[in-house]
Structure 1
Amino acid sequence: MIRSIACALLTLCLSASLALAAEMPLFNADGYRQTQYRSPTPHDAEGATTLDTPALQALLRDNPRTLLIDVYRQQWLNDRFIAEQPPHANLPGSTWLANVGDGHLEPLWQAYFEDNLNRLSEQRKDRPLVFYCKSDCWLSWNAIKRARTLGYNALYWYRDGIDAWHQAGLPLQPAQAVLP
Structure 2
Amino acid sequence: MAGNMHCDAIVVGSGISDGSAAKELTEKGLKVLLLERARNIEHLTDFLNADKESWDYPHRGSAAVEMKRKSPVLQRDYPLNEQTWGMWTDERANPYVENKRFDWFRGYHVGGRSLLWGRQTYRWSDTDFKSNAKDGVVIDWPIRYADIAPWYDHVERFAGISGARDGLDFLPNGDFLPPSR
Q: Which TM class, normalised by the smaller chain length?
A: under 0.3
Q: In terms of Rg, which structure is larger?
A: 2
Q: TM-score when scaled to structure 1? A: 0.22
Q: TM-score when scaled to structure 2? A: 0.22
Structure richer in helix, relative to its length: 1
Higher relative contact order (CA 8 A, sep 6+): 1
